[in-house]
């Protein structure tokens, strides 16, 4: 393995920001892990990752963790509260000059959608109200993945989950967490996806340069829960953007700006038909009404988006 500047013979030769491999049995093609890798390459080891129970917890098997900085495990609802405690402790140590400024760490919450959209939402709301200085990263695989993809507040309409098995799939609608977060007027909110590394990197760099609550929502294609060939993760991620299903945008200074506008949107079914969780929309016969409803919702979203320069 080589990078631009040197040959990598062993772990010690890796850049200090790089998330180490663990040998942990994560699923092949995991879109969440892809995004976490990219984010960690930017944020690096001067961080404390406060990680609520979910798939990414499996990266760490006590007493080992691939995070080169610090990592803390919490119960599902408690990562934002854990982040408050860590930030307060660091501030006290700084105040008492028991650590130097260059020993300070960036506090990062890492949770799935089950925690972010549901169980941990009230604790998250509290951190934004208290203007906690931290970054919240939610990898959104649209279900409780670690326990077998039960539906969550992030599950899209009509998706099949282990708890939504009927001919029409999940009867509810995906919660709009971006708007819920933005309504708190935090310092920064952004949506990203691993399949657009440039957009992701710009937003993580921007988040890093700002103080206060900074919220990052990552759509995370999940071959196991969404039921598709792991080789399709990048393709499905790109289709989520091209079809307009996953708008890439950011909220800063009270304004929402779209960072990618799919001017010629692909039909939503190109995204849906690759995923087994939507197979009942196509077989044994096409469910035209439900397909039209899903497309109409996406169209209605983009009709309200002002044309922007980017
Ligand atoms: C209060 C509580 N209920 C249930 C669980 C069991 N549990 C562990 S991980 C998990 C799924 C979490 O879903 P999500 O936050 O979306 O993360 P993902 O598993 O998808 O990575 C559940 C239900 C738990 N740890 N705590
Ligand atoms: S279930 Fe999905 S999110 Fe969890 S490790 Fe597997 S691919 Fe990744
Ligand atoms: Mg999840």
Could you give the CA distance from residue 115 to residue 24 in angstroms, rounded to a whole number?
22
Name the phi and psi angles at 126, rounded to 5: -60, -40
* Calpha distance 18→10 (Å, rounded): 13
Average pLDDT over residues 126-138: 98
Rg (CA), the chain: 20
Does residue 63 have a cis bond before it (omega within 30 degrees)? yes
253 neighbors 192 (Cβ within 8 angstroms): no
Q: Reply yes or no on whether the pLDDT at 131 is more than 80.
A: yes
In CATH, what number does 11-303 get?
3.40.50.970
Share of the chain above pLDDT 70, in %: 91
Residue 62 pLDDT: 80
Give the pLDDT mean for 175-204. 98
Q: Look up the pTM and report it.
A: 0.94
Confidence tier at 65 by pLDDT (50, 70, 90): confident
- Mean pLDDT for the chain overall: 93
Whether the per-residue pLDDT at 11 is higher than 70: the answer is: no
Q: Which residues line the pocket of ligand 1, CB cutoff 6 A?
A: 53-55, 75-76, 111-115, 141, 144-147, 152
Q: What are the pLDDT digits (tens) for 277-304?
A: 999 999 999 999 999 999 999 999 999 9
pLDDT, average across residues 86-92: 98
For residue 97, give the DSSP letter. Answer: T
Which tokens is 158 given? Answer: 């009509």
Which strands make up the sheet holding 188-193, listed edge to edge? 70-74, 47-52, 106-112, 134-140, 213-219, 188-193, 249-252, 255-258
Angle between helices 121-129 and 79-95 (to 10 degrees): 30
Other CB atoms within a 10 A radius of the CB of residue 16 amount to 9
In this predicted structure, what is the pLDDT of residue 152?
98
What 8-state DSSP symbol labels residue 11?
Answer: G
Question: How far apart (Å, rounded) are the C-alpha atoms in residues 189 and 179?
Answer: 9
With the most atoms of ligand 2 within 8 angstroms of its CB, the residue from 111, 148, 152, 223 to mutate is: 223
Token pair 């109409």 is found at 296
Measured by CA distance, the residue closest to atom 5 of ligand 1 is 76
Q: Residue 61: pLDDT band by 50, 70, 90 thresholds?
A: confident
Q: Which atom of ligand 2 is nearest to the CA of 141?
A: 3
Residue scoring higher pLDDT (5 or 267): 267
């Amino acid at each position: 393995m080589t990078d631009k500047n040197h040959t990598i013979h062993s772990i010690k030769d890796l850049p200090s920001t790089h998330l180490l491999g663990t040998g942990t049995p994560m699923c092949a093609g995991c879109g969440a892990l892809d995004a976490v890798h990219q984010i960690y390459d930017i944020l690096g080891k001067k961080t404390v990752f406060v990680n609520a129970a979910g798939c990414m917890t499996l990266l760490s098997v006590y007493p080992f963790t691939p995070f080169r900085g610090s990592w803390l495990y919490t119960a599902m609802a408690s990562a934002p509260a854990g982040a408050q405690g860590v930030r307060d402790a660091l501030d006290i140590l700084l105040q008492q000059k028991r650590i130097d400024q260059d020993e300070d760490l960036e506090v990062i919450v890492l949770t799935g959608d089950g925690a972010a959209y549901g169980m941990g939402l009230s604790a998250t709301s509290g951190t934004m109200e208290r203007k906690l200085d931290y970054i919240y990263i939610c990898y959104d695989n649209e279900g409780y993945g670690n326990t077998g993809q039960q539906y969550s507040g992030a599950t899209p309409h009509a998706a099949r989950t282990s708890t939504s098995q009927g001919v029409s799939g999940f009867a509810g609608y995906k919660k709009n967490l971006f708007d819920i977060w933005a309504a708190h007027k935090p310092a920064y909110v952004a949506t990203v996806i691993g399949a657009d590394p440039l957009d992701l990197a710009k937003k993580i760099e921007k988040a890093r340069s700002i103080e206060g609550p900074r919220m990052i929502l990552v759509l995370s294609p999940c071959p196991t829960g969404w039921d598709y060939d792991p080789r399709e993760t990048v393709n499905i991620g790109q289709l989520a953007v091209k079809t307009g299903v996953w708008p890439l945008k950011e909220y800063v200074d009270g304004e929402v700006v779209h960072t990618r506008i799919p001017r010629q949107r692909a039909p939503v079914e190109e995204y849906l038909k690759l995923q087994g969780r939507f197979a009942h929309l196509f077989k044994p016969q096409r469910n035209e009404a439900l397909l039209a409803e899903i497309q109409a919702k996406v169209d209605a979203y983009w009709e309200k988006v002002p044309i922007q320069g980017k």
